[in-house]
């Protein structure tokens, strides 16, 4: 039986590399899981795929086998050099860049694309936020993240979070399967999960209202242990009586907490605050 973890360690050693904790590097060695990820992506031949954090390229190779055109973003300069040489002559473009700052519209030439990736755990949430709210978002994401992050993406009241609201406003998240630490080198201290996020035809919040909407939601979650009336008054810098009145007008009990609200309730509340003359204050 092939000892795949040992092969990964040997490959890293031969390349003079070692997993960098600062970059959240955990190298997936289970080929069965890689194939499940690619199958979940449901790729069409020639489809443009952006991969973030390709590591040693196991997932990259599987994507190419399915006929994808791959743009892989790698922050580690040594790995980027290795991957450039390894995939020379194949439909793979290796980009040495930071996924948190790259211009995805320019990167993809404005073409439709999907993201398939084992996201670096230490920046996974930040990357997702940028992809979801950017000017040229992907049509679909199939990503491996910490199980806790996956559960937050797909949460329902009363377990919502700011990430839940953000993800579900723009996409329909679904946890596909979970993965134990033993599938990686080195094994992380957490379990992982693969989640799909399919872009909605239209976001649940109209674009013109998104700035105010997310400002209100963020204020509500800043002090999530507090009752909503107190959290919003503090987060928005509004008088408590005004917030109390807005909550009552929106048919939301002031004693509720942020994690219990649906997206529809947040939108009603945001609109109510504006209608009641607090829009200027909410907009900062």
- Structure token pair of residue 167: 């993800």
> DSSP labels for 203-243?
-SS-GGGHHHHHHHHHHHHHTTTS-HHHHHHHHHT--HHHH
Q: Which residues pair with 72 in a beta bridge?
A: 51, 94
Whether residue 276 is predicted with pLDDT greater than 80 in this model: the reply is: yes
- The reported pTM is 0.88
Kindly give, in sequence order, each residue whose CB lies less than 8 Å from that of residue 85, ignoring residues fewer than 6 positions away. Answer: none
pLDDT of residue 121: 84
Q: Which pair of tokens denotes residue 61?
A: 């190779």
Residue 118 clears pLDDT 80, i.e. is over it: yes
Q: Which residue would you say has higher pLDDT here, 143 or 31?
A: 143
List the domains of the chain with CATH numbers: 4-199 (3.40.50.150), 207-282 (1.10.8.100)
Give the mean model confidence (pLDDT) for residues 186-213.
Answer: 92
Q: Is the pLDDT of residue 207 over 80?
A: yes
Q: Which helix (H) or strand (E) is 92 found in, with range? A: strand 92-96
Contact call for residues 36 and 194 (beta carbons, < 8 A): yes
Q: What is the pLDDT of residue 78?
A: 86
Alpha-carbon gap, residue 104 to 137, rounded angstroms: 8
Tell me what pLDDT residue 13 has.
Answer: 59
- 147/37 Cα distance (integer angstroms): 15
- How large is the angle between the packed helices 31-41 and 58-65, nearest 10 degrees? 50
- Binned at pLDDT 50, 70 and 90, residue 18 comes out as low
The separation between the first and the last C-alpha atoms of the chain, rounded to the nearest angstrom, is 62
Written as six digits, the tokens of 69 are 């055109």
CB-based contacts of 190, cutoff 8 Å, min separation 6: 121, 146, 147, 148, 181
What pLDDT, in 10s, does the model give residues 25-59?
567 778 899 999 999 999 999 999 999 999 889 99
**What mean pLDDT is predicted for residues 14-18?**
62
- Gyration radius from the chain CA atoms: 21
Q: Are 246 and 279 in contact (CB under 8 A)?
A: no
**Tokens 């690619």 correspond to what residue?**
38
Q: Give the closest residue to 72 by CA, choosing from 32, 118, 10.
A: 118
Is the predicted pLDDT of residue 24 greater than 50, yes or no?
Answer: no
Q: Which helix (H) or strand (E) is 58 found in, with range?
A: helix 58-65
User: What is the pLDDT, as a whole number, of residue 5?
Assistant: 60
Is pLDDT of 21 > 70?
A: no
State pLDDT tens for residues 232-265. 999 999 999 999 999 999 999 999 999 999 999 9
**Average pLDDT value for residue range 187-208:** 93
The phi-psi region of residue 271 (left if phi > 0; otherwise alpha if psi is between -120 and 50; otherwise beta) is alpha
Burial track 192-213 (b if 16+ CB lie within 10 A, e otherwise):
bbbbbbbbeeebbbeeeebebb
Q: 10: pLDDT confidence band, cut at 50, 70 and 90? A: low
Q: What backbone phi and psi angles, to 5 degrees, belong to 44? A: -95, 150
Please compute the mean of the pLDDT values over residues 219-243 and round it to a whole number.
94
Helix (H) or strand (E) holding 171: strand 171-179
Query: What pLDDT score does 280 carry?
Result: 42
| Mean pLDDT taken over the chain | 90
Whether 6 shows a pLDDT value over 90: the answer reads no
DSSP lists the bridge partners of residue 143 as 117, 195
Are 64 and 76 contacting, i.e. CB atoms less than 8 angstroms apart?
no
């Amino acid at each position: 039986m092939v000892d795949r973890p040992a092969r990964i360690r040997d490959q890293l050693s031969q390349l003079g590399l070692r997993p960098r904790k600062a970059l959240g590097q955990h190298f997936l060695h289970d080929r069965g899981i890689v194939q499940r990820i690619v199958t979940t992506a449901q790729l069409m031949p020639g489809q443009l795929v952006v991969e973030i954090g390709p590591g040693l390229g196991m997932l990259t190779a599987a994507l190419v086998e399915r006929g994808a055109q791959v743009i892989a973003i790698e922050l580690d300069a040594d790995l980027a050099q290795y991957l450039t040489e390894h995939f020379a002559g194949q439909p793979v473009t290796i980009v040495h860049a930071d996924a948190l700052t790259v211009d995805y519209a320019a990167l993809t030439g404005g073409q439709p694309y999907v993201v398939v990736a084992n996201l670096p755990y230490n920046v996974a949430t930040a990357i997702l936020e940028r992809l979801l709210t950017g000017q040229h978002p992907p049509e679909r994401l199939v990503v491996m993240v910490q199980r806790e992050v996956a559960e937050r993406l797909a949460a329902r009241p009363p377990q919502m979070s700011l990430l839940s609201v953000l993800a579900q406003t723009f996409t329909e998240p679904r946890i596909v399967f979970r993965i134990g630490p033993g599938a990686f080198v080195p094994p992380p201290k957490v379990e992982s999960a693969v989640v799909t996020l399919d872009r909605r035809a239209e976001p649940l919040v109209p674009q013109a209202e998104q700035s105010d909407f997310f400002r209100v939601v963020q204020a509500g979650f800043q002090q999530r242990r507090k009752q909503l009336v107190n959290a919003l008054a503090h987060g928005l810098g509004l008088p408590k009586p005004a917030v109390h009145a807005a909550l009552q007008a929106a048919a939301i009990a002031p004693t509720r907490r942020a994690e219990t609200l649906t997206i529809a309730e947040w939108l009603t509340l945001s609109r109510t605050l504006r209608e009641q003359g607090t829009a200027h204050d909410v907009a900062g």
